[in-house]
Amino acid sequence: MTESTPCGAGNDCCRGASSVAGKDCAYRSSEEAVELLRADAGDVQATTVTLERSGAERIEAERLTMDRSGAREIAAKSAQLDRSGVMVLKSDRAVLHGTSAVAVGAQEARIVRSMAGVVVSGNTTVEGELRTLVHVGPTEGNVRTLIDPVGAAGFGAAFGLAVVMGGRLLRRFVSGR
Protein backbone atom coordinates (compact mmCIF):
# COMPACT_ATOMS: atom_id res chain seq x y z
CA MET A 1 0.00 0.00 0.00
CA THR A 2 1.24 3.47 -0.70
CA GLU A 3 2.69 5.24 2.33
CA SER A 4 2.10 8.70 0.93
CA THR A 5 1.41 9.97 -2.55
CA PRO A 6 1.99 13.71 -2.79
CA CYS A 7 1.65 13.23 -6.53
CA GLY A 8 -1.51 11.26 -7.24
CA ALA A 9 -4.26 11.11 -9.82
CA GLY A 10 -6.23 14.04 -8.40
CA ASN A 11 -3.28 16.33 -7.78
CA ASP A 12 -2.53 19.20 -10.18
CA CYS A 13 1.24 18.65 -9.94
CA CYS A 14 1.12 15.71 -12.33
CA ARG A 15 -1.52 15.67 -14.97
CA GLY A 16 -1.86 12.24 -16.52
CA ALA A 17 -0.94 10.31 -13.37
CA SER A 18 -3.15 7.48 -12.34
CA SER A 19 -3.28 5.20 -9.35
CA VAL A 20 -3.42 1.58 -10.42
CA ALA A 21 -3.46 -1.77 -8.68
CA GLY A 22 -0.07 -3.32 -9.31
CA LYS A 23 0.88 -6.94 -8.85
CA ASP A 24 4.44 -8.23 -9.21
CA CYS A 25 3.70 -11.95 -9.26
CA ALA A 26 0.99 -14.50 -8.51
CA TYR A 27 2.21 -15.05 -4.94
CA ARG A 28 1.90 -11.47 -3.76
CA SER A 29 -1.16 -9.42 -3.06
CA SER A 30 -1.90 -6.41 -5.19
CA GLU A 31 -0.72 -3.00 -4.06
CA GLU A 32 -1.41 0.56 -5.05
CA ALA A 33 1.03 2.00 -7.58
CA VAL A 34 1.60 5.31 -9.35
CA GLU A 35 1.74 5.25 -13.13
CA LEU A 36 2.73 8.24 -15.26
CA LEU A 37 2.13 8.14 -19.00
CA ARG A 38 3.36 11.17 -20.95
CA ALA A 39 3.12 13.40 -17.88
CA ASP A 40 5.31 15.52 -15.65
CA ALA A 41 5.41 15.22 -11.87
CA GLY A 42 7.01 16.89 -8.90
CA ASP A 43 7.79 14.49 -6.06
CA VAL A 44 6.48 10.92 -6.31
CA GLN A 45 6.45 8.55 -3.35
CA ALA A 46 4.86 5.10 -3.68
CA THR A 47 5.57 1.41 -3.39
CA THR A 48 5.63 0.91 -7.17
CA VAL A 49 6.21 3.67 -9.72
CA THR A 50 6.02 3.32 -13.51
CA LEU A 51 6.99 6.18 -15.83
CA GLU A 52 6.59 6.10 -19.60
CA ARG A 53 7.64 9.17 -21.58
CA SER A 54 7.35 11.19 -18.39
CA GLY A 55 9.43 13.27 -16.01
CA ALA A 56 9.71 13.70 -12.25
CA GLU A 57 11.77 15.73 -9.82
CA ARG A 58 12.21 13.17 -7.02
CA ILE A 59 11.04 9.57 -6.84
CA GLU A 60 10.99 7.34 -3.76
CA ALA A 61 9.81 3.78 -4.39
CA GLU A 62 10.33 0.14 -3.58
CA ARG A 63 10.11 -0.71 -7.30
CA LEU A 64 10.66 1.74 -10.16
CA THR A 65 10.31 1.22 -13.91
CA MET A 66 11.14 4.04 -16.33
CA ASP A 67 10.83 3.94 -20.13
CA ARG A 68 11.99 6.97 -22.15
CA SER A 69 11.62 9.16 -19.07
CA GLY A 70 13.71 11.43 -16.89
CA ALA A 71 14.16 12.22 -13.21
CA ARG A 72 16.37 14.44 -11.12
CA GLU A 73 16.73 12.13 -8.09
CA ILE A 74 15.71 8.51 -7.52
CA ALA A 75 15.79 6.46 -4.31
CA ALA A 76 14.53 2.90 -4.83
CA LYS A 77 15.18 -0.64 -3.72
CA SER A 78 14.88 -1.85 -7.31
CA ALA A 79 15.13 0.40 -10.37
CA GLN A 80 14.92 -0.45 -14.07
CA LEU A 81 15.62 2.38 -16.52
CA ASP A 82 15.21 1.90 -20.26
CA ARG A 83 16.31 4.71 -22.62
CA SER A 84 15.95 7.21 -19.80
CA GLY A 85 17.97 9.84 -17.99
CA VAL A 86 18.62 10.53 -14.32
CA MET A 87 20.82 12.91 -12.37
CA VAL A 88 21.25 10.83 -9.16
CA LEU A 89 20.20 7.20 -8.75
CA LYS A 90 20.46 5.44 -5.37
CA SER A 91 19.26 1.85 -5.42
CA ASP A 92 19.92 -1.60 -3.99
CA ARG A 93 19.51 -3.11 -7.47
CA ALA A 94 19.69 -1.07 -10.65
CA VAL A 95 19.36 -2.03 -14.32
CA LEU A 96 20.21 0.66 -16.89
CA HIS A 97 19.61 -0.03 -20.58
CA GLY A 98 20.51 2.71 -23.06
CA THR A 99 20.36 5.21 -20.21
CA SER A 100 22.38 8.28 -19.23
CA ALA A 101 23.09 9.02 -15.57
CA VAL A 102 25.23 11.58 -13.77
CA ALA A 103 25.71 9.52 -10.58
CA VAL A 104 24.75 5.91 -9.80
CA GLY A 105 25.07 4.35 -6.36
CA ALA A 106 23.92 0.72 -6.07
CA GLN A 107 24.66 -2.54 -4.31
CA GLU A 108 24.21 -4.36 -7.63
CA ALA A 109 24.19 -2.63 -11.00
CA ARG A 110 23.61 -4.12 -14.44
CA ILE A 111 24.46 -1.60 -17.13
CA VAL A 112 23.77 -2.22 -20.80
CA ARG A 113 25.06 0.25 -23.44
CA SER A 114 24.73 3.24 -21.12
CA MET A 115 26.74 6.27 -20.00
CA ALA A 116 27.32 7.46 -16.45
CA GLY A 117 29.47 10.15 -14.85
CA VAL A 118 30.17 8.37 -11.57
CA VAL A 119 29.35 4.74 -10.75
CA VAL A 120 29.80 3.41 -7.21
CA SER A 121 28.60 -0.16 -6.92
CA GLY A 122 29.20 -3.25 -4.81
CA ASN A 123 29.07 -5.32 -8.02
CA THR A 124 28.72 -3.99 -11.56
CA THR A 125 27.90 -6.12 -14.58
CA VAL A 126 28.38 -4.38 -17.92
CA GLU A 127 27.02 -5.56 -21.26
CA GLY A 128 28.34 -3.69 -24.25
CA GLU A 129 30.44 -0.78 -23.04
CA LEU A 130 30.14 1.61 -20.11
CA ARG A 131 31.72 5.06 -20.53
CA THR A 132 32.24 6.79 -17.20
CA LEU A 133 34.46 9.38 -15.53
CA VAL A 134 34.86 7.48 -12.26
CA HIS A 135 34.01 3.87 -11.42
CA VAL A 136 34.43 2.41 -7.94
CA GLY A 137 33.82 -1.25 -7.14
CA PRO A 138 34.30 -4.65 -8.76
CA THR A 139 33.12 -5.02 -12.32
CA GLU A 140 32.46 -7.62 -14.98
CA GLY A 141 32.56 -6.39 -18.56
CA ASN A 142 33.97 -3.52 -20.61
CA VAL A 143 34.29 -0.28 -18.62
CA ARG A 144 36.11 2.75 -20.00
CA THR A 145 36.93 5.17 -17.19
CA LEU A 146 38.61 8.52 -17.46
CA ILE A 147 39.74 8.37 -13.81
CA ASP A 148 40.01 5.18 -11.75
CA PRO A 149 40.72 5.16 -7.99
CA VAL A 150 44.45 4.41 -8.48
CA GLY A 151 44.78 7.14 -11.12
CA ALA A 152 42.94 9.63 -8.90
CA ALA A 153 45.26 8.88 -5.96
CA GLY A 154 48.33 9.26 -8.20
CA PHE A 155 47.02 12.54 -9.62
CA GLY A 156 46.29 13.85 -6.10
CA ALA A 157 49.79 12.96 -4.88
CA ALA A 158 51.44 14.55 -7.93
CA PHE A 159 49.30 17.68 -7.60
CA GLY A 160 50.12 17.99 -3.90
CA LEU A 161 53.84 17.62 -4.59
CA ALA A 162 53.64 20.25 -7.36
CA VAL A 163 51.89 22.71 -5.00
CA VAL A 164 54.53 22.21 -2.29
CA MET A 165 57.43 22.60 -4.74
CA GLY A 166 55.79 25.61 -6.40
CA GLY A 167 55.32 27.25 -3.00
CA ARG A 168 58.99 26.77 -2.12
CA LEU A 169 60.13 28.21 -5.45
CA LEU A 170 57.82 31.18 -5.05
CA ARG A 171 59.18 31.90 -1.55
CA ARG A 172 62.76 31.80 -2.86
CA PHE A 173 61.99 34.30 -5.61
CA VAL A 174 60.04 36.62 -3.29
CA SER A 175 62.64 36.60 -0.48
CA GLY A 176 65.53 37.08 -2.93
CA ARG A 177 67.75 34.19 -1.81
What pLDDT digit, counting tens, does each position of 39-67 carry?
677 888 889 999 999 889 999 999 999 99
pTM exceeding the 0.75 threshold for the entire prediction: no
In the predicted structure, residue 172 carries a pLDDT above the cut 60: yes
How many angstroms separate the first and last alpha carbons of the chain? Answer: 76
Per-residue pLDDT of 79-122, as tens digits, reads 999 999 999 999 999 999 999 999 999 999 999 999 999 999 99
Mean pLDDT of 114-135: 91
Q: Buried (b) or exposed (e) across 50-64, using 16+ Cβ within 10 A? A: bbbbbbbebbbbbbb
Lowest mean pLDDT among 9-13, 76-80, 158-162: 9-13
